[in-house]
């Protein structure tokens, strides 16, 4: 599959995401925020970083980037879209996902090897995991606290749209320990932790994140 | 000057013509930090009084921070070290923004460590943030992609109220800026001592990687080439920051000369990095310089004097954040995130197009000339007409008096031998627990977890490993390793040995990870050079570093001096921070810190002597500082480093940890914490069986290694070949740290003590 990774001004983990896509067995395609062009990719990753310096509000400016018109349209058609960290924030600002991400409750940037439980394996990004799999993936952010109204949270839980949940001490104040969610259709996933930093034993805490990138193949060949 | 419109203040403009016609006007040279003879020298160079713009330029460029006027007679000796690393000739040396060394496979690495001490005391967050920003631009200006940062930090006592103001701000600033640049922070130090209260040290290191052919030097050559200023707009921040902030100590009598600290915009710097690298890749740059301390004064005079000798700048073209700024202020402004490039006329359009792509503002502000003069005009009127070298390089040189302090002998005579030592197993156990929880030896995760250590996906080793290591090439697995160290207490006891010990520790840490040390950069933090005691410490440290570099066969690639680090009469501990850079052919063979498996054999490499003076034990338990530091043995360091690099290459050892602060006890404890694997040792064959000395002495040239049973013979053979003493001391395994015949302590208990200290103090 061809998987696009968007670079916004201030994207940081775009190089890492492209490497992870390659490790997942796909062709990584660099997409530029200023182009109205997805270059025929089959899926899109919005990587981590501080797009537009996180000025105004995380993801609030990137959401208006030209490429996002195409991403939103393609997501509506069912194209798999994964937003990691800042990408998750952009997806929320774009209203592709509900809720918002606010400053960590302890008010510090926090970079840790985080344990997670994969709660929904029916998305194109998580099908390679076993239901309930416990994994360790890098978490690093200053504004990772997921918030939404009680109704929305209940809906997310009820529809099985909580994709991943934090294990152990809640690292950032996310409501109901939510680390990642999906849209109703399941093709759009937002994840605060960084699976692209856990795809090789050499650089990062193991390979538990690789599943997010190999899942696409499982879907494609299903 | 009461106008609020944006018209230039021509009515008060001090042009060259005005200066010539009004030669005796009183000028505020003293307020700008110049001495009377320095002002006289400027008048002599120019044959007239300087204009106010020229005075601004000379004052910032001749400040201690920019001109190294007190230190350069001592730094000169670093150029006498052969400019060659174990891999080959240096590609660029001292004098460039940062030295560049060959690491093989067509790659080169540039790295440098700099200080941002005084601004970080005044405004911790922005001071630290812009310290990171400045060193990253230095590296970028060499043509390199910055790939990692590291921050050696020094604070006052952990329980001092001001530390609670300074530390969180500095850490948040280092993280806030570096994280947003997408640069992994792979190590550093955090050391606490009362002498840093009121004068914290914020040193910032950056490593960059480039291909040999991409090396760019700071020079303006090619008459007619265009001079482009790009990046952030110029504002009023940091005006005079260099000459005043960096050269005045913090006396109680107030902040009269304390102007604003620069404010950083890391998002702009990230754009500047990507934009500049794309410009390099397109081959559009003839010369380049970052704007740091002394801003445009520095960039224009240094570029011009390193090139064809002339430059003409139209200062009114500089994009401003504050349109009321006067030319003097524009020349002195230290606004961050700016670069200056020299570009051939035919390449200007392409250059501008790349800047536009990255939303980076760029303006042609001048051109290279063959006049031999730096001419700067303000709305068509000449405000600067100087020989550029006189500004950039011909600053004053001081032969500051120095003398061995009268108290040095008494300090050295007051050794740790007379201090009460723990003897029973229970006392030794308590000592271990107390030391692992002490501020200098405790877990630094509260700090380092605020830094992104994973971004770019190439981080092989980072805190809490002994050194940081990043992969340079995905295909070949070539990598580089860096460590920074300095024990200021050792340097106080003997600055010559102390500087060598800083180098030795850093060198050892790089080797512990499996890399071969190639070169050093240093950041020499000292008190006031006007104090002969301090100046002696500085001179001794320089001499020690030079001698050690010669003996180890590694050059100094550059560095930074920070003086006037004192509050009132109290100077900081002399703190010559040394960064060592190493190369490793295959990062998959790196040696981790910390026990990785049960039932492996544990060996101590090196020789342990009764060396407790200046140790963490003496500091923590007795608040004592006196005696002589551990004996320097560079031949032993070199042998140990070669052994460790070979052990990595041949996959002999499974883990390695250097022995330094806190001695064997600390190394054992930290090794068990990593994966919760305990250890049982006997120290009967170490230090003549004196358990206290064996566990807490800080003798150098030592490391703790583990091997699988099958590989023990290979290790013994390696140690024999390199002439490194080797002592089998035990095995990994279990859930306790057990010292035979003495005590046991649970790994979990010790780890809890180790990790609780900073969160308890800082929240």
| For residues A126-154, average pLDDT | 97
| For residues A52-58, average pLDDT | 92
Mind listing the pLDDT tens digit for each residue in B482-499? 999 999 999 999 999 999
Q: Are B449 and A112 in contact (CB < 8 Å)?
A: yes
Q: Which residue in B270, B449, B471 is closest to A10 by CB distance?
A: B270
> CA B196, B200, B205: angle at the middle one, nearest 5?
125
pLDDT number for residue B260 = 63
pLDDT at B234 over 60: yes
Look up the ipTM and state it: 0.96
Domain residue limits, chain B: 1-62+217-396, 83-215+457-590, 416-442+592-763
Mind listing the pLDDT tens digit for each residue in B408-459? 999 999 999 999 999 999 999 999 999 999 999 999 999 999 999 999 999 9
Is the minimum CB–CB distance between B180 and chain A shorter than 8 Å?
yes
pLDDT number for residue A221 = 47
Mutate to test the interface with A, among B457, B514, B588, B591 (most CBs of A within 10 A): B457
pLDDT at B332 over 50: yes
What secondary structure letter does DSSP report for B360?
-
Q: Are A50 and B267 in contact (CB < 8 Å)?
A: yes
Mind listing the pLDDT tens digit for each residue in B534-582? 999 999 999 999 999 999 999 999 999 999 999 888 999 999 999 999 9
Q: Are A202 and B453 in contact (CB < 8 Å)?
A: no
Mutate to test the interface with B, among A108, A112, A144, A172 (most CBs of B within 10 A): A108
pLDDT number for residue B98 = 78
pLDDT band at B2 (very low <50, low <70, confident <90, very high): very low
Q: Which residue in B357, B450, B457 is closest to A109 by CB distance?
A: B450
Q: Are A109 and B358 in contact (CB < 8 Å)?
A: no
Instruction: Choose the catalytic residue: A26, A33, A70, A85.
Output: A85
What secondary structure letter does DSSP report for B244?
I
Q: Are B454 and A112 in contact (CB < 8 Å)?
A: no
Query: In whole angstroms, what is the distance from residue A105 CA to residue A88 CA?
Result: 18
Query: Do residues A188 and A180 touch, judged by C-beta distance below 8 A?
Result: no
- The tally of CA atoms less than 13 A away on the side-chain side of residue B560 is 28
pLDDT number for residue B6 = 44
| For residues B707-720, average pLDDT | 97
Could you please state the CATH topology (level 3) that the domain comprising B416-442+592-763 is classified under: Phosphoribosyl-aminoimidazole Synthetase; Chain A, domain 2 (3.90.650)
Is the minimum CB–CB distance between B675 and chain A shorter than 8 Å?
no
Pairing of strands B100-104, B145-155: unpaired
List chain A residues with CB under 8 Å of B459: 203-204
- The tally of CA atoms less than 13 A away on the side-chain side of residue A72 is 17
Smallest Cα distance from B443 to chain A, Å: 14
Query: Do residues A51 and A9 touch, judged by C-beta distance below 8 A?
Result: yes
pLDDT at B286 over 60: yes
pLDDT at B203 over 60: yes
Smallest Cα distance from B565 to chain A, Å: 29
Tokens of B115: 């200080």
CATH number reported for the structural domain that contains residue A137 in this entry: 3.40.50.880
Query: In whole angstroms, what is the distance from residue B250 CA to residue B267 CA?
Result: 32
Q: Give the CATH number of domain B1-62+217-396; options: 3.90.650.10, 3.10.450.50, 3.30.70.270, 3.40.50.300.
A: 3.90.650.10
| Sheet with B145-155, edge to edge strand ranges | B100-104, B107-115, B201-211, B145-155, B185-192
pLDDT at B251 over 90: no
Q: Are B270 and A197 in contact (CB < 8 Å)?
A: no
Closest-CA residue to B219 (of B95, B336, B99, B332): B95
Query: In whole angstroms, what is the distance from residue B215 CA to residue B209 CA?
Result: 10
pLDDT at A219 over 70: no
> CA B452, B457, B462: angle at the middle one, nearest 5?
55
| For residues B28-43, average pLDDT | 92
Smallest Cα distance from B185 to chain A, Å: 11
Q: Are B455 and A138 in contact (CB < 8 Å)?
A: no
pLDDT at B600 over 80: yes
- Which residue reads 């697995």 in tokens? B477
Q: Is B109 or B31 the better-scoring residue by pLDDT? A: B109
Q: Which residue in A10, A16, A20 is closest to B455 by CB distance?
A: A16
Smallest Cα distance from A6 to chain B, Å: 15
Query: Do residues B509 and B467 touch, judged by C-beta distance below 8 A?
Result: yes
pLDDT at B5 over 50: no
Q: Are B172 and A108 in contact (CB < 8 Å)?
A: yes
Say if B1-62+217-396 and B416-442+592-763 have the same CATH topology.
yes
Annotated active-site residue A134? The verdict is: no
Query: In whole angstroms, what is the distance from residue B148 CA to residue B674 CA?
Result: 23
Question: Count of residues for chain A?
Answer: 222
β-bridge partners, B707: B601
Annotated active-site residue A196? The verdict is: yes
Is the minimum CB–CB distance between B265 and chain A shorter than 8 Å?
yes
Could you please state the CATH topology (level 3) that the domain comprising B83-215+457-590 is classified under: 60s Ribosomal Protein L30; Chain: A; (3.30.1330)
What secondary structure letter does DSSP report for B490?
H
Find the residue in A nearest to B458 (Cα): A203
Smallest Cα distance from A43 to chain B, Å: 22
List chain B residues with CB under 8 Å of A140: 179, 452, 454-455
pLDDT at A40 over 90: yes
List chain B residues with CB under 8 Å of A194: 454
Query: In whole angstroms, what is the distance from residue B100 CA to residue B480 CA?
Result: 13
pLDDT at A163 over 60: yes
Please give the helix or strand (H or E) that residue B153 lies within, else none.
strand B145-155
pLDDT at A222 over 60: no
Mutate to test the interface with B, among A11, A12, A16, A169 (most CBs of B within 10 A): A12
Smallest Cα distance from B270 to chain A, Å: 6
Question: Binding site membership of B for ATP: which residues?
Answer: 68, 112, 522, 559
Tokens of B639: 């042998």
- Output helix, strand, coil percentages for chain A, rounded to the nearest 5: 25, 25, 45
Question: Binding site membership of B for substrate: which residues?
Answer: 115-118, 137, 262, 334-336, 562
The dihedral sign for the CA sequence B428, B433, B434, B436: positive
Query: In whole angstroms, what is the distance from residue B292 CA to residue B66 CA?
Result: 10
List chain B residues with CB under 8 Å of A112: 449
pLDDT band at B95 (very low <50, low <70, confident <90, very high): low
Q: Which residue in A9, A15, A111 is closest to B457 by CB distance?
A: A15
Is the previous residue joined to B464 through a cis bond, with omega within 30 degrees of 0?
yes
Smallest Cα distance from A85 to chain B, Å: 13
Question: Binding site membership of B: which residues?
Answer: 68, 112, 114-118, 137-138, 262, 290, 334-336, 522, 559-560, 562
Q: Which residue in A16, A53, A194 is closest to B180 by CB distance?
A: A53
Query: In whole angstroms, what is the distance from residue B551 CA to residue B554 CA?
Result: 8
Residues of B identified as active-site: 65, 116
Q: Are B270 and A12 in contact (CB < 8 Å)?
A: yes
Q: Are A10 and B450 in contact (CB < 8 Å)?
A: no
Mind listing the pLDDT tens digit for each residue in B44-92? 999 999 999 999 999 989 988 888 999 999 999 999 999 899 888 888 8
Average pLDDT of chain B is 93
DSSP string, B38-106: HHHHHHHHHTSPPPHHHHHHHHHHTSHHHH-TTTHHHHGGGGGS-SB-SS-B-SB-BTBSS-EEEEETT
β-bridge partners, B590: none
β-bridge partners, B575: B525
Q: Which residue in A49, A111, A196 is closest to B451 by CB distance?
A: A111
pLDDT number for residue B247 = 41
Mind listing the pLDDT tens digit for each residue in B653-692? 999 999 999 999 999 999 999 999 999 999 999 999 999 9
Domain total for chain A? 1
Query: In whole angstroms, what is the distance from residue B395 CA to residue B614 CA?
Result: 39
Q: Which residue in A49, A109, A197 is closest to B457 by CB distance?
A: A197
Residue A164: which domain range? 2-220
Query: Do residues B599 and B731 touch, judged by C-beta distance below 8 A?
Result: yes
List chain B residues with CB under 8 Å of A197: 454-455, 457
What secondary structure letter does DSSP report for B144?
P
Question: Binding site membership of B for Mg(2+): which residues?
Answer: 114, 138, 290, 560
């Amino acid at each position: 599959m061809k998987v696009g990774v968007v670079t916004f001004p201030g994207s940081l983990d775009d190089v890492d995401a492209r490497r992870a896509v390659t490790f997942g067995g796909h062709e990584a395609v660099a997409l530029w925020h200023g182009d109205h062009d997805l270059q025929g990719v089959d899926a899109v990753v919005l990587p981590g970083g501080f797009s537009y310096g996180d000025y105004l509000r995380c993801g609030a400016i990137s959401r208006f980037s030209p490429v996002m018109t195409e991403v939103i349209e393609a997501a509506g058609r069912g194209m798999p879209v994964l937003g990691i960290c800042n990408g998750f924030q952009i997806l929320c600002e774009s209203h592709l996902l509900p809720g918002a991400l606010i400053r960590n409750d302890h008010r510090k940037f926090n970079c840790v090897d985080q344990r997670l439980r994969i709660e929904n394996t029916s998305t194109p990004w998580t099908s390679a995991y076993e239901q309930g799999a416990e994994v360790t993936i890098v978490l690093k952010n200053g504004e990772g606290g997921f918030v939404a109204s009680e109704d929305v949270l209940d809906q997310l839980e009820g529809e099985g749209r909580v994709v991943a949940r934090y294990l152990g001490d809640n690292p950032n104040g996310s409501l109901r320990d939510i680390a990642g969610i999906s849209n109703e259709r399941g093709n759009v996933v937002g994840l605060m932790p960084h699976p692209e930093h856990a795809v090789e034993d050499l650089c990062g805490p193991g390979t538990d994140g690789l599943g997010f990138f190999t899942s696409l193949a499982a879907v494609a060949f299903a | 000057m009461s106008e609020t419109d944006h018209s230039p203040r021509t009515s008060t403009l001090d042009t060259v013509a005005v200066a010539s016609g009004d030669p005796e006007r009183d000028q505020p040279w003293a307020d700008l930090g110049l001495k009377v003879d320095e002002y006289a020298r400027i008048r002599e160079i120019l044959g007239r009084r300087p204009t106010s713009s020229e005075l601004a330029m000379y004052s910032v460029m001749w400040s201690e921070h920019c001109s190294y006027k007190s230190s350069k007679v001592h730094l000169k000796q670093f150029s006498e070290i052969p400019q060659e690393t174990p891999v080959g000739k240096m590609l660029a040396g001292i004098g460039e923004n940062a030295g560049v060394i060959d690491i093989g496979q067509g790659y080169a690495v540039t790295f440098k460590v700099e200080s941002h001490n005084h601004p970080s005391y005044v405004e911790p967050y922005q001071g630290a943030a812009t310290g990171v920003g400045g060193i990253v631009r230095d590296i970028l200006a060499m043509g390199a992609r910055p790939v990692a940062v590291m921050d050696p930090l020094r604070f006052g006592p952990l329980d001092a109220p001001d530390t609670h103001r300074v530390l969180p701000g500095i850490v948040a600033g280092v993280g806030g800026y570096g994280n947003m640049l997408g640069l992994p922070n792979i190590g550093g130090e955090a050391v606490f001592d009362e002498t840093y209260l009121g004068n914290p040290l914020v040193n910032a290191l950056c490593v960059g990687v480039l291909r040999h052919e991409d090396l760019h030097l700071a020079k303006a050559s090619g008459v007619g080439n265009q001079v482009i200023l790009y990046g952030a707009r110029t504002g009023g921040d940091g005006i005079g920051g260099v000459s005043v902030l960096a050269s005045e100590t913090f006396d109680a009598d107030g902040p009269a000369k304390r102007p604003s600290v620069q404010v950083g915009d890391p998002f702009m710097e990230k754009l500047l990095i990507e934009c500049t690298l794309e410009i390099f890749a397109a081959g559009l740059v003839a010369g380049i310089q970052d704007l740091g301390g002394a801003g445009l004064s520095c960039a224009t005079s240094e570029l011009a004097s390193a090139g064809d000798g002339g430059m003409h700048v139209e200062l009114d073209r500089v994009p401003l954040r504050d349109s009321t700024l006067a030319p003097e202020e524009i020349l002195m402004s230290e606004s961050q995130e700016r670069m200056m490039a020299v570009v051939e006329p035919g390449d200007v359009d392409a250059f501008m197009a790349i800047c536009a792509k990255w939303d980076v503002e760029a303006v042609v502000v001048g051109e290279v000339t063959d006049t031999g003069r730096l001419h700067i005009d303000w709305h068509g009127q000449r405000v600067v007409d100087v020989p550029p070298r006189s500004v950039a390089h011909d600053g004053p040189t001081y032969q500051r008096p120095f003398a061995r302090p009268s108290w040095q002998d008494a300090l050295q005579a007051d050794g740790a031998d007379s201090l009460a030592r723990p003897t029973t197993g229970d006392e030794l156990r308590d000592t271990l627990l107390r030391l692992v929880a002490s501020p200098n030896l405790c877990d630094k995760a509260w700090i380092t977890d605020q830094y992104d250590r994973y971004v770019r996906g190439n981080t092989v080793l980072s805190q809490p490993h002994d050194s940081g290591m990043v992969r340079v090439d995905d295909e070949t697995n070539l990598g580089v390793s860096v460590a920074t160290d300095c024990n200021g207490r050792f340097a106080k006891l003997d600055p010559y040995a102390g500087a060598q010990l800083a180098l030795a520790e850093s060198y050892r840490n790089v080797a512990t990870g499996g890399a071969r040390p190639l070169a050093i950069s240093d950041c020499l933090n000292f008190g006031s050079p006007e104090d002969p005691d301090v100046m002696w410490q500085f001179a001794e440290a320089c001499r020690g570093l030079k001698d050690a570099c010669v003996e180890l066969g590694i050059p100094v690639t550059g560095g930074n001096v920070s003086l006037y680090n004192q509050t009132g009469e109290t100077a900081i501990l002399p703190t010559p921070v040394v960064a060592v850079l190493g190369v490793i052919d295959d990062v998959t063979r790196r040696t981790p810190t910390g026990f990785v498996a049960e039932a492996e054999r544990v060996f101590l490499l090196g020789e342990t002597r009764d060396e407790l003076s200046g140790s963490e034990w003496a500091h923590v338990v007795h608040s004592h500082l006196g005696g002589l530091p551990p004996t320097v043995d560079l031949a032993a360091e070199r042998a140990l480093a070669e052994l460790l690099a070979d052990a990595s290459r041949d996959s002999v050892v499974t883990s390695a940890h250097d022995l330094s602060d806190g001695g064997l006890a600390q190394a054992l404890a930290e090794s068990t914490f990593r994966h919760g694997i305990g250890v049982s040792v006997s120290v009967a064959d170490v230090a003549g069986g004196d358990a206290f000395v064996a566990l807490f002495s800080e003798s150098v040239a030592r490391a703790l290694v583990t091997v699988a049973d099958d590989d023990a013979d290979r290790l013994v053979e390696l140690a024999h070949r390199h002439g490194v003493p080797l002592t089998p001391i035990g095995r990994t395994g279990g859930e306790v740290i057990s010292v035979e015949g003495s005590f046991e302590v649970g790994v979990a208990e010790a780890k809890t003590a180790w990790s609780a200290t900073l969160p308890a103090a800082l929240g």
